Structure 1
Amino acid sequence: MEGRDVTLRTLAPVVAALLLLSAPAARADADEELPVIHSSAAALAHASAHPDTPPPGANDWSCEPSAQHPRPVVLVHGSMENMTFNWFSLSPQLVNEGYCVFALNYGQMEGLHLGVPGASRTSGIGPIQNSAAELGGFVDEVLAATGASEVDIVGHSQGGTMPRYYTKFLGGAGKVANLIGLSPGNHGSTALGLAKLPGVPELLGLGLGPAFAQQVHDSPFIADLNAGGETVPGVRDTVIQTQWDEIATPYTTSFLNGPEVTNILMQTQCPLVGSDHLSIAFDSIAAHHVLNALDPEHATPAPCYPTPPFNGG
């Protein structure tokens, strides 16, 4: 069975390219499971065909949290990404597990900017403080719609770092139970050493948006975010990281220090994991760690098999 599973994961992008354009965005029946394909290539095809739409299964505003999963899950995409692309794999998987799932696009700016397909305007590039305020408004909408008292947040890259500003400075601490970051740049990135060169952070900000300059090593934003303690009482932080991260560098920049922190380096548990900064959001082993962090009382050992960079699997 394991060999068959590996084969299916390998073929998933090919199957997706043939079938995705006709795939439904949500379940027609509550008992019908959504297809889950761990592939950035499939996500790219889907996002190109369905721009400015929630990822599969997300943003069902009539969803009522269950007793087993009483907190809605809010998915927060990374820089230059968007909800349609970033959460193509994880959103339907969480919905199939019985979670109410919500996602947003944030940090959009006028003008032309580089970004992956899936949104009419590039997301995740505006000032991070403003994006955190957008997240706060969205969380309030989710709480009002579902009747829940708290949410859990899962974020990729900037989406794992920006919510920390919300919980620390904008009143989010009482509204967030778990913050789970996939390859977040919690201590700023050296961008493989380039960010330490004079003028590079400023150039990043001019060419790619203010959020990029704010996420480099030793930026004022990062210093402010981590001053006086890296965590917020009452919020459980989980960081899921890969040693092959080429964006949040060194990869240890992701890890947090604090009393309610779990730092996971996937290769410690499974040396076969090849996911990098992009593909961790589409990596099935990373998704298993997310599920464990959301429901630690029912956590199970993560599997171990090869997963490739760039595409996930």
Structure 2
Amino acid sequence: MPATRSLIVLALATLLTLVVAPAARAGRGEPRLPVPWTTVAGSHANNVTPGAPPPGANDWSCDPSARHPNPVILLHGGGSNQTSAWQTFAPLLANNGYCVFSLTYGVPFAPLPGGLLPMEQSARELSVFVDKVRSRTGSAKVDIVGHSAGTIMPSYYVRFLGGGPKVDKYVSLSPLWHGTTQLGISTLYQLSETLGLKRWWDRMVGIVCGACNQFLQGSEFLKKLHARGIFDPAITYTNIMTRYDWAVIPYTSGVGHGPGVRNIVLQDECPLDFAEHGGILADRNAAGHVLNALDPEHAAPVGCVLTTPVGSLLPPR
């Protein structure tokens, strides 16, 4: 029995090391922040300090380096907030020398989470935040890393609110440029329009979530974006998708086309990656692609890490 207990303790200790081990490439010479490779960390942090900036984010005294002159702004998805979404990427990017900033946007009223207001309103919040970050850091442009709704909301800011000249690189995790058909809701939504019930539908859903109908395939919001053009030709876009996405259906909704647009399906390069919609936020493979997208001049091989639906638990092969 003592030997068995020792093996169990050793296994748990090894697993803990793998889960929180930082994956930085080149830090700033400062103490490294722990990087948890599981979405459980986000849930725990949100229970302890709901709404608080994640570790490594919102240091308003941060001075961007010559290697990373653009501050990185992290944008969570619908029904989330900065605390639960960015426990992995905020410290990871900070450890790699970036000035990192995040906010919780689109909150209708407390205690509801963020990303629920109509995306036009959230985009105006983002506009104010970007100008604040640029003013405090002295940077001409920012880079954006968004997840889910946090991938299409900034597009409205870029295309309709004058954000284009202020954004350099735009990295999207589980994007939905063409909307989602989840559970057939988009079909029902379009049917309501055919039957003259769309105004009723919008009013009922909008009481709690003004953005929810905008996610759907064929929504007026997406039609407006596509009519203008989703992608600004002066911005570099990287779309990172997972085949196991349960929220963005089909996952290929995240595929974009344009001269400055790159599309990555995680499983095309790593069949051991089983991350789902939220798990991509604690995915080492996705993190490698994000780091390369933000710093293409120093791109490194991403490798292939075994990833569960809720995060990466094993070191690179």
* Shorter-chain TM band: 0.7 to 0.9
The aligned amino acid for 2:217 is H
302-311 vs 86-95, which deviates more? Answer: 302-311
Q: Is the 8 A contact 1:192 1:247 kept in 2?
A: no
Number of the residue aligned with 1:264? 264
Deviations 1:180-222 (A, max 9, x none): 0000111110014332123498378347501110110000000
Cα distance change, pair 70–228 in 1 and its aligned pair in 2 (3 A): same
Asked if 1:11 is matched to 2:2, the reply is: no
Cα distance change, pair 151–50 in 1 and its aligned pair in 2 (3 A): same
User: Quick one: which of 114, 117, 130 aligns to 1:126?
Assistant: 117
Q: Secondary structure at the match of 2:274?
A: coil
Deviations 1:275-303 (A, max 9, x none): 01111011111111100000011111212
Number of the residue aligned with 1:45? 44
In structure 2, stretches of 5+ residues that fail to align are: 1-10, 21-27
Partners of 1:70 and 1:15 in 2: CA distance: 30
Q: Is the 8 A contact 2:177 2:256 kept in 1?
A: yes
Partners of 1:303 and 1:147 in 2: CA distance: 35
Partners of 1:78 and 1:170 in 2: CA distance: 20
Relative to the length of structure 2, the TM-score reads 0.85
Residue 104 of structure 1, CA deviation:
0.4
Residue 110 of structure 1, CA deviation:
2.2
Partners of 2:183 and 2:13 in 1: CA distance: 30
Residue 226 of structure 1, CA deviation:
1.1
Residue 10 of structure 1, CA deviation:
8.3
Partners of 1:107 and 1:209 in 2: CA distance: 9
Number of the residue aligned with 2:104? 105
Number of the residue aligned with 2:289? 289
Number of the residue aligned with 1:227? 227
> What is the aligned-residue RMSD (CA, Å)?
2.3
Number of the residue aligned with 1:82? 81
Number of the residue aligned with 1:156? 147
Partners of 2:207 and 2:140 in 1: CA distance: 40
Residue 258 of structure 1, CA deviation:
1.1
Partners of 2:159 and 2:31 in 1: CA distance: 39
The aligned amino acid for 2:231 is T
Number of the residue aligned with 1:36? 35
Partners of 1:140 and 1:8 in 2: CA distance: 45
Is the radius of gyration larger for structure 1 or structure 2?
2
The aligned amino acid for 2:160 is F
Partners of 1:170 and 1:13 in 2: CA distance: 44
Q: How does 1:228-247 map to 2 (within 5 A)?
A: 228-247=228-247
Q: Is the 8 A contact 1:230 1:258 kept in 2?
A: no
Asked if 1:176 is matched to 2:151, the reply is: no
Q: Is the 8 A contact 2:282 2:310 kept in 1?
A: no
Relative to the length of structure 1, the TM-score reads 0.86
Partners of 1:177 and 1:101 in 2: CA distance: 15
What percent identity do the matched residue pairs reach?
Answer: 44
Residue 259 of structure 1, CA deviation:
1.2
Cα distance change, pair 271–9 in 1 and its aligned pair in 2 (3 A): farther
Q: How many residues align?
A: 287
Cα distance change, pair 85–30 in 1 and its aligned pair in 2 (3 A): farther
Partners of 1:256 and 1:8 in 2: CA distance: 42
The aligned amino acid for 1:11 is L
In structure 1, stretches of 5+ residues that fail to align are: 1-6, 17-28, 112-119
Residue 122 of structure 1, CA deviation:
1.3
Q: Is the 8 A contact 2:305 2:312 kept in 1?
A: no
Partners of 1:177 and 1:273 in 2: CA distance: 29
156-165 vs 225-234, which deviates more? Answer: 225-234
Q: Is the 8 A contact 1:13 1:42 kept in 2?
A: no
Q: Is the 8 A contact 1:274 1:309 kept in 2?
A: yes
Residue 15 of structure 1, CA deviation:
7.4
Deviations 1:219-255 (A, max 9, x none): 0000111114221121111100001111111000011
The aligned amino acid for 1:253 is S
Q: Is the 8 A contact 1:150 1:175 kept in 2?
A: yes
